């Protein structure tokens, strides 16, 4: 804490009184020992939305003495409703992290990518450097030879606005093919609607909830956790299907410890029981769906006895759950989950999930799924971009236009899979092989290349081949320190971003605005994008001078203004959540080819895909290995929060979960350090062993996001193990383009030493505001 004269006098006055009070005992302590608390000062509130995960909760940022002191949930915001998870609370620690990137850096001439040798540069020089090389690539190979990766709500400038203006279809987000692609693709071809980022499950109205690989409570999606808790309070029954006794399982009435990779068999058996025992919602199915006859015939073979052999869940339990959910219908729901790239048949698994929901008659009905509607918002009236933005997003939007305009190339991953979504992992290969055409440049905004995309050695090799690699980020993550040019962005608490519209029961728009000025020589993403755009000859797409003008124009167009939004942060509109709301207006929500929920997909059949989901066994576990499962900590967001001291004091490292009996067999002690080695020989760790009853014997589990190796991340570095490092294999989901990650196998190698690391409390000391 900075001690100025005024503050010193205040404190002295306070302590003089204290000395009179307690006599010489005071001498034991320095007179300024009891500092004033921030909340005794003058506190200003700024409304914005959070960026410590992707959920985008509205926040009230408390600023005192020119510093952000605390972040609370914004009461009027439909996402946070005044509450926040630990990551949202801890945003302050990222803002004041001394490890942040502070000024532009250019890799020293002659050094190799990954050596981490940099010199400081001015923004002018750094941006000129990037623009010059980008234009060279464009001249030689075409605009498509620059790929754009982005993650986070600031990424719109770098995966939508700029690439579309520049003319590259190769823009991608890990949020698609390493996360939601299967559930979104399946939803499009079953319901003709996206699931979308907010996941429109009508939790609180539901009476029976079945979670399959859905880690609520460990993934602290704020609103969802609030609604989930409320549903349980209101007496909803909960079934959790998971090879691991997750936090959600600890709240469940039934836990089904399924054999990993066999979920589809269980779902098919449930469909079988609902149909054979005539438990499905006949009226709903007749009115809103097509393909029931085909489904009924198809499901003949999927008896619970058949599923028992595959899933290791007793047939009687399968029947009982099917009957229970039928008894609660339509207020029984199987939520879609988020990270759905598991085994490679993921779109089909998600189709089965949706078919089950449809049989329960819950889609568009209270207690099932509500129909989320995006808010009304106008684009900034800039000249039309040559290409449509192609990156898509969690909501599985199209990923570019139908037709490729003349003079431009289709996306490099086109033809590898059925859907139009973008597969980020498929854009690495062209960097190496030059097929179908070369990708020679990469602009990477907030995407952790070494902690999200599978096969890290391949990614590193690809980075080595590029003509230009630019990283825009807040922290010196390991992959950032491979870039030719590093552009330091300021944090979400120091900047404006583009408006965010949330498809929801009550659609709403959120504003991000700065609570404090940017620290050091960091800049907001919009500024970086615009400055780069001007240097790339794209000035006609940037008719706005600054972000305030841009935002105000968009807001004025819908009858609001930037001034108004700054005061309220969130703008809520009316929704149309249930089928009856649509029918009253004689509108059809199902944008499928048939205009109905497609239990049977003709389109899939026409493309040589299974029109009805069927079970395919997952890759078998080689002997001596365990299947590597992974998940979330409620305290961390992927690999982006492990340098946050507040969060790291709460959860400093991950552990490898091994069943107690297996651990005994291997001679492992609880808490000892081991290495994990995958079947390709990649070794990762050291990581602590957690011997537990909470997991099946055929798999091990790691929380994702730990095991950082970036030298500049002084808190994160060397703590725990990275699941991504062990995911050298993925299976491409041929429908959605998703990279299925649960096809990696590890063995436990004992004998690792506890890593010698600075105590976190010590590292924290210098980080206090």
Q: Of residues 204-263, which lie at the interface with other proteins (CB under 8 A)?
A: 217-218, 220, 222, 225-226, 228-230, 232-233, 245, 247, 249-251, 255, 257
Site string for other proteins, 527-566 (x = CB under 8 A): ----------------------------------------
Helix (H, G, I), strand (E, B) or coil at 393: coil
Rounded least distance, CB 272 to other proteins, Å: 24
- Buried b / exposed e along 465-503 (16+ C-beta atoms within 10 A): ebbbbbbbbbbbbbbbbbbbbbbbbbbbbbbbbbbbbbb
> What is the token pair recorded at 262?
């066999």
How far, in Å, CA of 697 to CA of 675, rounded?
Answer: 18
> Does 73 participate in binding other proteins (rule CB under 8 A)?
yes
| Phi, psi dihedrals of residue 315, rounded to the nearest 5° | -55, -35
Choice between 92 and 443, CB closer to other proteins: 92
Choice between 40 and 403, CB closer to other proteins: 40
Please list every residue from 30 through 59 that binds other proteins, using CB under 8 A: 30, 33-35, 37-40
> Does 377 participate in binding other proteins (rule CB under 8 A)?
no
> Does 649 participate in binding other proteins (rule CB under 8 A)?
yes
> Does 72 participate in binding other proteins (rule CB under 8 A)?
yes
Helix (H, G, I), strand (E, B) or coil at 641: coil
Q: What is the DSSP string of 414-430?
A: TTSSSSSS--GGGGTHH
How far, in Å, CA of 106 to CA of 459, rounded?
Answer: 21
Alpha helices, DSSP H, located in 300-444: 304-311, 315-328, 346-359, 429-433
| Phi, psi dihedrals of residue 231, rounded to the nearest 5° | -60, -45
**Of 418, 287, 255, 280, which Cα lies nearest the Cα of 355?**
280
**Antiparallel, parallel or unpaired: β 118-120 and 105-107:** antiparallel
Of the residues 22, 300, 433, 567, which one makes contact with other proteins according to CB under 8 A: 22
Rounded least distance, CB 210 to other proteins, Å: 17
**Of 157, 55, 142, 737, which Cα lies nearest the Cα of 389?**
157
Tokens 């029931």 sit on residue:
292
How far, in Å, CA of 324 to CA of 357, rounded?
Answer: 14
How far, in Å, CA of 483 to CA of 464, rounded?
Answer: 10
Please list every residue from 655 through 674 that binds other proteins, using CB under 8 A: 655, 659, 670
> Does 2 participate in binding other proteins (rule CB under 8 A)?
no
Choice between 176 and 210, CB closer to other proteins: 210
Of the residues 84, 258, 328, 365, which one makes contact with other proteins according to CB under 8 A: 84
| Phi, psi dihedrals of residue 98, rounded to the nearest 5° | -70, -10
Helix (H, G, I), strand (E, B) or coil at 383: coil
Rounded least distance, CB 40 to other proteins, Å: 8
How far, in Å, CA of 318 to CA of 316, rounded?
Answer: 5
Site string for other proteins, 720-759 (x = CB under 8 A): ---------------------------------------x
Choice between 259 and 420, CB closer to other proteins: 259
Of the residues 48, 89, 187, 455, which one makes contact with other proteins according to CB under 8 A: 89
Rounded least distance, CB 719 to other proteins, Å: 15
Choice between 545 and 759, CB closer to other proteins: 759
Of the residues 59, 90, 732, 741, which one makes contact with other proteins according to CB under 8 A: 90
Choice between 71 and 352, CB closer to other proteins: 71
Rounded least distance, CB 740 to other proteins, Å: 26
Choice between 135 and 764, CB closer to other proteins: 764
Rounded least distance, CB 68 to other proteins, Å: 10
Q: Are 632 and 87 in contact (CB under 8 A)?
A: no
Choice between 416 and 767, CB closer to other proteins: 767
How far, in Å, CA of 612 to CA of 447, rounded?
Answer: 35
**At how many degrees (to 10) do helices 547-556 and 525-535 cross?**
100
How far, in Å, CA of 615 to CA of 109, rounded?
Answer: 54
Residues 6+ apart with CB under 8 A from 177: 341, 421, 422, 423, 424, 425, 426, 736, 737, 738, 739
> Does 169 participate in binding other proteins (rule CB under 8 A)?
no
Q: Which stretch binds other proteins (CB under 8 A): 14-22, 358-366, 439-447, 542-550?
A: 14-22
Q: 722 vs 54, 624, 632, 655, 748, CA distance in Å?
A: 21, 21, 12, 10, 14
Rounded least distance, CB 637 to other proteins, Å: 13
Residues 6+ apart with CB under 8 A from 614: 264, 268, 298, 348
Residues 6+ apart with CB under 8 A from 229: none
> What is the token pair recorded at 450?
């070494």
Site string for other proteins, 597-636 (x = CB under 8 A): -------------------------------------xx-
Task: Please give the size of the binding site for other proteins, defined by CB under 8 A.
Answer: 75
Rounded least distance, CB 558 to other proteins, Å: 31
Rounded least distance, CB 97 to other proteins, Å: 14
> Does 762 participate in binding other proteins (rule CB under 8 A)?
yes
Choice between 8 and 378, CB closer to other proteins: 8
Rounded least distance, CB 633 to other proteins, Å: 9
Of the residues 7, 18, 380, 610, which one makes contact with other proteins according to CB under 8 A: 18
Q: Which stretch binds other proteins (CB under 8 A): 198-206, 563-571, 644-652, 708-716?
A: 644-652
Q: Which stretch binds other proteins (CB under 8 A): 78-86, 164-172, 473-481, 701-709?
A: 78-86
Q: Which stretch binds other proteins (CB under 8 A): 23-31, 183-191, 432-440, 515-523?
A: 23-31
Please list every residue from 252 through 311 that binds other proteins, using CB under 8 A: 255, 257
Of the residues 46, 61, 71, 629, which one makes contact with other proteins according to CB under 8 A: 71
């Amino acid at each position: 804490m900075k001690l100025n004269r005024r503050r010193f006098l205040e404190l002295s006055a306070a302590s003089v009184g204290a000395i009179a009070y307690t006599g010489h005992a005071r001498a034991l302590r320095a007179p300024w020992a009891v500092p004033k608390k921030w909340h005794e000062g003058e506190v200003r509130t700024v409304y914005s939305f959070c960026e410590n995960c992707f959920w985008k909760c509205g926040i009230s940022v408390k600023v005192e003495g020119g510093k952000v002191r605390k972040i609370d949930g914004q009461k009027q915001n439909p996402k946070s409703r005044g509450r926040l998870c630990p990551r949202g609370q801890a945003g302050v620690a990222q803002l004041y992290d001394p490890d942040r990137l502070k000024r532009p850096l250019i890799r020293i001439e002659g050094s190799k990518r990954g050596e981490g040798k940099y010199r400081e540069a001015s923004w002018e020089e750094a941006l000129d450097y990037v623009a010059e090389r980008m234009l060279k690539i464009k001249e030689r190979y075409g605009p498509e030879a620059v790929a754009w990766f982005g993650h986070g709500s600031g990424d719109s400038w770098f995966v939508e606005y700029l690439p579309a203006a520049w003319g590259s279809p190769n823009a991608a987000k890990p949020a698609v093919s390493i996360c939601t692609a299967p559930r979104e693709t399946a939803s499009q071809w079953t319901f003709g609607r996206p699931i979308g980022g907010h996941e429109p499950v009508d939790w609180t109205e539901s009476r029976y909830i079945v979670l399959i690989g859905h880690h609520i409570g460990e993934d602290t999606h704020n609103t969802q956790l609030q609604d989930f808790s409320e549903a349980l309070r209101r007496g909803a029954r909960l079934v959790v299907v998971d090879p691991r006794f997750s936090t959600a399982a600890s709240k469940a009435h039934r836990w089904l410890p399924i054999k990993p990779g066999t979920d589809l068999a269980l779902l098919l058996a449930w469909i079988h029981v609902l149909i054979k025992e005539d438990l499905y919602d006949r009226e709903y199915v007749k009115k809103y769906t097509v393909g029931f006859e085909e489904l009924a015939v198809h499901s003949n073979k999927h008896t619970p006895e058949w599923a028992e052999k595959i899933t290791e869940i007793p047939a009687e339990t399968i029947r009982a759950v099917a009957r229970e959910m039928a008894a609660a219908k339509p207020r029984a729901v199987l939520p879609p989950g988020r990270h759905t790239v598991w085994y490679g048949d993921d779109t089909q698994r998600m189709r089965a999930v949706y078919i089950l929901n449809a049989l329960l008659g819950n889609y568009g009905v209270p207690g099932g799924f509500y129909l989320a509607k995006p808010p009304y918002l106008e684009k900034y009236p800039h000249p039309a971009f040559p290409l449509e933005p192609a990156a898509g997003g969690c909501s599985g939007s199209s990923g570019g236009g139908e037709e490729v305009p003349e003079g431009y190339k289709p996306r490099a991953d086109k033809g590898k899979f059925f859907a139009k979504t973008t597969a980020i992992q498929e854009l690495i290969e062209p960097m190496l092989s030059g097929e179908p055409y070369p990708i020679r440049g990469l602009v990477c905004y907030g995407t952790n290349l070494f902690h999200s995309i599978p096969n890290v050695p391949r990614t590193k090799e690809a980075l080595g081949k590029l003509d230009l690699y630019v990283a825009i980020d807040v922290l010196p993550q390991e992959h950032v320190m491979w870039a030719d040019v590093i552009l330091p962005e300021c944090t979400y608490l120091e900047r404006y971003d583009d408006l965010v519209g949330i498809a929801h029961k009550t659609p709403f728009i959120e504003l991000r605005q700065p609570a404090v000025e940017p620290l050091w020589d960091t800049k907001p993403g919009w500024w970086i994008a615009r400055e780069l755009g001007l240097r790339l000859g794209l000035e006609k797409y940037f008719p706005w001078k600054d972000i305030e003008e841009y935002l105000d124009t968009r807001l004025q167009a819908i009858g609001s203004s930037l001034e108004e939004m700054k005061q309220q942060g969130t703008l809520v509109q009316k929704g149309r959540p249930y089928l009856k709301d649509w029918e009253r207006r004689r509108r059809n929500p199902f944008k499928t080819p048939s205009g109905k929920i497609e239990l049977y997909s003709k389109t899939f059949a026409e493309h040589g895909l299974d029109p009805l989901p069927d079970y395919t066994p997952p890759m078998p576990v080689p002997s001596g290995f365990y299947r590597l499962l992974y998940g979330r900590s409620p305290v961390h967001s992927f690999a982006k929060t492990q340098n946050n001291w507040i969060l790291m004091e709460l959860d400093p490292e991950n552990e490898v979960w091994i069943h107690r009996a297996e651990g005994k067999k291997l001679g492992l002690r609880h808490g000892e350090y081991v290495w994990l080695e995958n079947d390709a020989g990649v070794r990762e760790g050291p990581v602590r062993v957690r011997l537990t009853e909470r997991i099946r014997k055929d798999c091990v589990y790691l929380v994702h996001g730990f095991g950082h190796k970036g030298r500049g991340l002084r808190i994160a570095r060397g703590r725990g193990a990275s699941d991504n490092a062990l995911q050298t294999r993925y299976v491409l989901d041929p429908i959605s383009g998703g990279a299925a990650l649960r096809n990696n196998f590890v063995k436990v190698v004992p004998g690792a030493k506890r890593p010698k690391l600075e105590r976190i409390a010590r590292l924290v000391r210098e980080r206090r505001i």
